[in-house]
């Protein structure tokens, strides 16, 4: 059994990883865990809102901002650049200031940015706010799985983390429904000063509310006990554990102390004695900026050295390839559905492959010469319907993951959910109608979204507490490079080199499946973590 405490470079007493997890296991499972699951699900739903909403807003905002094709490209890229800029920063911040504080800052920054974006009438200001929104959104996705996982008993952790996939699915479905209702509305508020507020502004405003409301609820939640143990705040850790036990069991908080004293785990007995009987009080001073930078550097180097080097490389590459593939085909699905709708309107009862739809685009561009910003075009409700169907198609796979993860393990799901989308992507060569495109899109979205969730879950499972945030931040940074490369690839190559794009995406997913075979199994990863503790 690992020692009850370790000493860091400043002499602060830290409760060992294995002891902290044993203490969490003694709190049981119940109301508190479900509350944490609920708030984390809302956070991940908010992430789904942020990523998917830009595709709904872009066509309508093009008229108000008089956007050219280049302007549209900037608007699509702004959140991506924000995600890239903020990804590793959030991992560092979560390691220094805690998971809860990191999520709070990210949520309120995201909500305020979106709220302001809904009313600003200036293109470049809107672009900057979308950049901030993207940075804040990435802070939520990078940390929320850590926050959820570090509260859960070992027996339930994998299953609770896996249920987060359903939050993403529900978020997509709700967003499609809200967009379907709001964006076609005739909202027309304009002033002589250049201010305007239309239906898409109302949509952006509504999308800002979940972040603000969820952030307000999160104020009533504590920091994770495992982070408090790792940073030497042992008295606060015990207070959180007592609260967890009380809410889960219905017993008074002090009963948790009695339970630890009566259990057969000597390390937990010693932990209680050290905190309660020696009247220990933390002497944990605020770190200077130089110490913080040194701490970040040391932890980053640790995940880039054995025994974590191999898993870091594998997880970062998988995150990069899968995210690149996901954004390449998913973020631009509304555009693909638009092209099929335009093609079928121009050429009724005819079919076209994905790679020949450029001709249909050229036909519609001729008609748009008198309306370059699309101000007279009607909203294609089929885009919302298709997105709604895409979200609904993810429900079966979203249920399979948590129901079978304890039996099959994350490695099995990671391998399967990488290889299957590779085959689905190759089948794009066979698509000739919008319906066929929708079927393949549903298959692709439902499996790839599970793959992304498994990557987030594995980051919690494969690293100890003191390295988990840094590994998550580094993985998020690499994955956003993949996301930007995927978005640029679809923008620059899809019309002239469509076949090459499909081959690249399929190859990335196939390579991800091969890399997934090298992810450590649970027993191996736990052995390394215990050794490091």
Whole-number pLDDT of residue 450: 92
CA distance 485 to 489: 6
- DSSP track, 368-426: GGG-TT-TTPPP-HHHHHHHHHHHHHHHHHHHHHHHHHHHHHHHHHHHHHHHHHHHHHH
* Residue 471 near residue 284 (C-beta atoms within 8 A): no
Q: Helix, strand, coil shares of the chain as percentages rounded to 5?
A: 75, 0, 20
- DSSP track, 196-255: EEEHHHHHHHHHHHHHHHHHHHHTTSPPPHHHHHHTT-HHHHHHHHHHHHHHHH-S-TTH
CA distance 147 to 138: 14
CA distance 45 to 57: 18
User: Looking only at Cα atoms, what is the longest distance across the chain?
Assistant: 82
- For 88, phi then psi, to 5°, come to -70, -30
Whole-number pLDDT of residue 278: 56
Whole-number pLDDT of residue 120: 93
Whole-number pLDDT of residue 64: 86
Peptide bond into 307 cis (omega under 30): yes
CATH fold of 287-358+379-521, please?
Growth Hormone; Chain: A; (1.20.1250)
154: closest CA among 22, 40, 247? Answer: 22
130: closest CA among 80, 69, 71? Answer: 80
Whole-number pLDDT of residue 369: 53
Beta strands in 145-200 (DSSP E): 188-190, 196-198
List Cβ neighbours of 433 (8 Å cut-off, separation of 6 or more): 340, 351
Helices and strands, counts by H and E, the chain: 21, 4
Distance from the Cα of residue 391 to its chain's centroid: 16
Segments making up each domain of the chain, as ranges: 14-277, 287-358+379-521
Please provide the distance, in angstroms rounded to a whole number, between the alpha carbons at the two ends of the chain: 10
List Cβ neighbours of 490 (8 Å cut-off, separation of 6 or more): 327, 328, 329, 331, 332, 501
Q: H or E stretch including 325? A: helix 309-330
CA distance 381 to 199: 14
**Radius of gyration of the chain measured on its C-alpha atoms:** 24
Whole-number pLDDT of residue 528: 43
Whole-number pLDDT of residue 423: 94
Residue holding tokens 């066509």? 59
Q: Do domains 14-277 and 287-358+379-521 have the same CATH topology?
A: yes
Domain 14-277 has what CATH class? mainly alpha
**Looking at beta carbons, which pairs linking 493-499 to residues 24 or more positions away fall under 8 Å?**
494/332, 495/358, 495/361, 496/358, 498/354, 498/355, 498/358, 499/355, 499/429
CA distance 362 to 12: 67
Task: Report pTM.
Answer: 0.87
CA distance 231 to 313: 27
Q: Digits of tens for pLDDT over the chain (533 positions)?
A: 334 554 444 444 445 778 889 999 999 999 999 999 999 999 999 998 888 888 788 878 888 888 887 787 788 788 888 988 888 889 899 998 999 999 999 999 999 999 999 999 999 999 999 999 999 998 999 899 999 999 999 999 999 999 999 999 999 899 989 999 998 888 888 887 788 999 999 999 999 999 999 999 999 999 999 999 888 888 899 999 999 999 999 999 999 999 988 888 888 888 888 877 655 555 556 667 788 888 888 989 999 999 899 999 999 999 999 998 887 776 656 566 667 777 777 778 777 777 776 544 454 444 545 556 667 666 667 778 877 888 899 999 999 999 999 899 999 999 999 999 999 989 888 888 778 878 888 898 899 989 989 999 998 889 998 899 999 989 989 998 988 888 777 767 767 787 888 899 899 999 999 999 998 765 444 444 444 44
Whole-number pLDDT of residue 1: 35
- For 101, phi then psi, to 5°, come to -65, -40
DSSP, res 26: T
Whole-number pLDDT of residue 524: 46
């Amino acid at each position: 059994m690992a020692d009850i405490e370790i000493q860091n470079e400043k002499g602060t007493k830290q409760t060992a990883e294995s002891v902290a997890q044993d203490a969490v296991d003694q709190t049981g499972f119940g109301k508190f865990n479900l509350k944490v699951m609920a708030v984390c699900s809302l956070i991940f739903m908010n992430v789904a809102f942020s990523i998917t909403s830009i595709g709904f807003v872009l066509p309508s905002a093009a008229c108000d901002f008089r956007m050219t094709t280049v302007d549209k490209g900037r608007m699509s890229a702004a959140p991506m650049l924000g995600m890239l800029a903020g990804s590793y920063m959030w991992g560092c911040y979560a390691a220094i200031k805690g998971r809860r504080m990191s999520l709070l800052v990210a949520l309120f920054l995201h909500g305020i940015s979106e709220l302001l974006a809904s009313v600003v009438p200036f293109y470049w200001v809107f672009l900057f706010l979308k950049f901030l929104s993207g940075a804040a959104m990435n802070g939520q996705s990078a940390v929320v799985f850590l926050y959820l996982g570090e509260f859960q008993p070992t027996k339930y952790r994998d299953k609770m983390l896996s249920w987060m996939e359903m939050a993403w699915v529900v978020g997509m479905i709700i967003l499609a429904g809200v967009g379907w209702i709001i964006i076609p509305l005739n909202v027309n508020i304009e002033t002589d000063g250049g201010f305007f507020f239309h239906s898409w502004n109302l949509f952006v405003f509504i999308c800002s509310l979940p972040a603000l409301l969820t952030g307000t609820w999160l104020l009533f939640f504590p920091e994770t006990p495992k982070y408090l143990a790792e940073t030497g705040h042992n008295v606060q850790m015990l207070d959180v554990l007592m609260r967890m036990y009380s809410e889960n069991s219905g017993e008074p908080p002090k009963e948790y102390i009695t339970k630890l004293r009566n259990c057969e785990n000597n390390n937990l007995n010693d932990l209680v004695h050290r905190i309660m009987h020696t009247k220990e009080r933390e002497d944990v001073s605020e770190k200077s900026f130089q110490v913080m930078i040194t701490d970040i550097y040391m932890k980053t180097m640790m995940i880039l050295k054995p025994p974590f080097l191999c898993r870091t490389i594998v997880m970062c590459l998988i995150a990069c390839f899968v995210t690149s593939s996901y954004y390449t085909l998913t973020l631009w699905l509304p555009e693909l559905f638009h092209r099929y709708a335009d093609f079928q309107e121009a050429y009724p009862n005819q079919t076209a492959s994905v790679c020949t739809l450029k001709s249909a685009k050229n036909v519609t561009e001729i008609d748009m010469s008198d309306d370059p910003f699309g101000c007279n075009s009607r909203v294609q409700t089929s885009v919302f319907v298709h997105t709604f169907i895409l979200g609904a198609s993810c429900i079966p796979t979203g249920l399979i993951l948590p129901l079978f993860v304890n039996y099959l393990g994350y490695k099995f799901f990671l391998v399967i959910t990488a290889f299957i989308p590779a085959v689905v992507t190759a089948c794009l060569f066979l698509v000739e109608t919008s319906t066929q495109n929708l079927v393949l899109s549903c298959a692709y979205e439902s499996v790839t979204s599970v793959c992304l969730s498994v990557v987030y879950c594995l980051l919690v499972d494969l690293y100890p507490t003191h390295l988990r945030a840094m590994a998550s931040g580094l993985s998020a940074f690499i994955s956003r490079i993949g996301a930007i490369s995927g978005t640029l690839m679809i923008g620059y190559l899809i019309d002239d080199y469509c076949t090459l794009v499909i081959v690249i995406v399929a190859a990335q997913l196939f390579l991800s499946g091969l890399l997934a075979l090298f992810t450590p199994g649970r027993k191996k990863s736990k052995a390394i973590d215990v050794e490091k503790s």
